Amino acid sequence: MTSSLTWLRNLAAAATIGSTMATSAMAQTPSGEPIKVGILHSLSGTMAISETTLKDAMLMLIEEQNKKGGVLGRPLEAVVVDPASDWPLFAEKARELISQDEVAAVFGCWTSVSRKSVLPVFKELNSILFYPVQYEGEESERNVFYTGAAPNQQAIPAVDYLMDEGVERWVLEGTDYVYPRTTNKILEQYLKDKGVAAEDIIVNYTPFGFSDWQTEVAKIKEFGSTGKKTAVVSTINGDANVPFYKELANQGIEATDIPVVAFSVGEEELAGIDTGPLVGHLAAWNYFQSVDTPENEDFIAKWHEFTGNDERVTNDPMEAHYIGFNMWVKAVEKAGTTDADAVIDALPGIEQANLTGGTSVMLPNHHITKPVLIGEINDEGQFDVVSETDDLVPGDAWSDFLPESKKLKADWVELKCGNYDTEAGKCLGETAAAQ
């Protein structure tokens, strides 16, 4: 008797759930031919360590959007390719995505060299690339939207913070490639403009994947032992960071003596280190997982649900994709089409709430506004925010601290130019960009 009653009740419950699901699905399910979205992140090779997460984040965002009814009533379909950390292969895969799969937009790339390698393809085939990583600036292309930080949205505010904390001597330590070299050039000029003497700055580069940091760390220690407060500004790339921090800890350099502020170390990178000895070292980003806002909490919950792993961390480039993807969705809805030209024209001015409580705007120079957060590493492998800019900082494509780029301006709305020379009053165009 009881059993049949429960059975009956279950059936009724199932029926109700079924019907509600059906009705909500009726209103939501996107139909028609799917809109394809390309994901161009390395899933093998050296960069897989960072880029695989971004592929997962994009798949999650696309799945979420489809639950919300897709775009223009049509479902989104992710097309994932693996450029295998091989720069020429990036260009080939980009071409494949655009001409064979006919994707509406591509989200991808991590290193600057991979971005530079796909640029000609995007220009030639006139498609859209969303680039989610902090980079060295000095670029603005019609087909690319830069949702990561430009140097003025990361490096400069970090140095300002350390100056407020009384730092007088600077070690600019980086991996030997274009991003650290350009960023350090900008920083060196900025520090000199602020009255730092040349002998109080050293710039040092190490190769990719460098693992024997003994001499370098000893050099930093020596440089910092003159009695003046010293800090390290690190543009050391991914893999070399773990041995670097291990060596710092082993040689007894604490953050209170010589703090290290890093631009490429986020939650993901810290996952491979015991952060106990690193407490107090800094990182500058536009997002931290520890930021306490409802949007961020929601995002993290969805991420954990999507990956089925409560320990997966979120990081800054993921937030950049979150902003970029939602901006693209809004632009497509606004333009009413996925046609590249229409979407490129619709994107500037689009607003999207970011995960740190503000609203980011796509600027005419194809960069976005972002808050700058300085965080100290804590013993849980997360960052405690110690400083935050009052307003969102607009991304500046051409640095004001490099003489050759000071006069340049990017504006794709009024001037239709990525490198307008304000002194000569003309657009430098392709020839200058190629140099």
List of residues contacting another protein (CB under 8 A): 43-44, 46, 48-49, 52-53, 165-166, 176, 204-207, 209-212, 214-216, 218-219, 222, 225-227, 239, 242-243, 246-247, 249-252, 255-256, 259, 268-269, 271-274, 279-280, 289-290, 292, 294, 297, 300-301, 310-311, 313, 376, 378-382, 384, 386
Nearer to another protein, 78 or 374 (CB): 374
Q: Provide the CA 434 distance to its chain's centre, in angstroms.
A: 25
For another protein, which is the closer residue by CB, 123 or 219? 219
Q: Among residues 337 and 378, whose Cβ is nearest to another protein?
A: 378
Could you tell me the smallest distance in angstroms from the CB atom of residue 251 to another protein? Answer: 5
Beta strands of 219-272 (E only): which ranges?
A: 230-235, 260-262
What string of DSSP letters covers 32-43?
SSPEEEEEE--S
Nearer to another protein, 251 or 359 (CB): 251
Closest to 98 measured CA to CA, from 72, 84, 118: 118
Instruction: CB nearer to another protein: give 256 or 435.
Output: 256
Q: Report in angstroms how near the CB of residue 270 gets to another protein at its nearest.
A: 9
Nearest residue (CB) to another protein, 76 versus 261: 261
Q: Which is nearer to another protein, 337 or 389 (CB)?
A: 389
* Percent helix, strand and coil across the chain, each to the nearest 5: 45, 20, 35
Structure tokens at 249: 């800890």
Beta-strand runs (E) in 176-329: 201-206, 230-235, 260-262, 282-285
386's CB contacts (< 8 A; 6+ apart) are: 161, 282, 374, 375, 376
CA–CA dist 109, 317 (Å, integer):
11
DSSP state of 100: I
Residue 72 Cβ vs another protein, minimum distance, rounded to whole Å: 34
Which is closer to another protein, CB of 31 or CB of 44?
Answer: 44
Using DSSP's 3-state secondary structure scheme, residue 243 falls into helix
Smallest distance, Å, CB 143 to another protein? 28
318 or 408: CB nearest another protein: 318
User: Between residues 380 and 430, which has the closer beta carbon with respect to another protein?
Assistant: 380
129-131 and 393-394 beta bridge pairing: unpaired
Dist CA 415 CA 408 (whole Å): 12
Q: How far is the CB of 50 from another protein (least distance, A)?
A: 8
Give me the amino acid identity at 224. G
Residues 6+ apart with CB under 8 A from 237: 174, 175, 177, 179, 180, 208, 264
Q: Please report how close the Cβ of residue 44 comes to another protein at its closest, in angstroms.
A: 6
* Minimal distance, residue 239 CB to another protein, in Å: 5
Instruction: Give the shortest CB-299-to-another protein separation in angstroms.
Output: 11
- Supply the DSSP symbol for 394: E
Burial of 310 (0-12, 13-18, 19+ CB in 10 A): exposed
In the complex, the smallest distance separating the C-beta of residue 297 from another protein, rounded to whole angstroms, is 5
The C-alpha R_g of the chain, in whole angstroms, comes to 23
CB of 208 to another protein, least distance (A): 9
372: amino acid identity, one letter = V
CA–CA separation, 84 vs 93, rounded Å?
Answer: 10
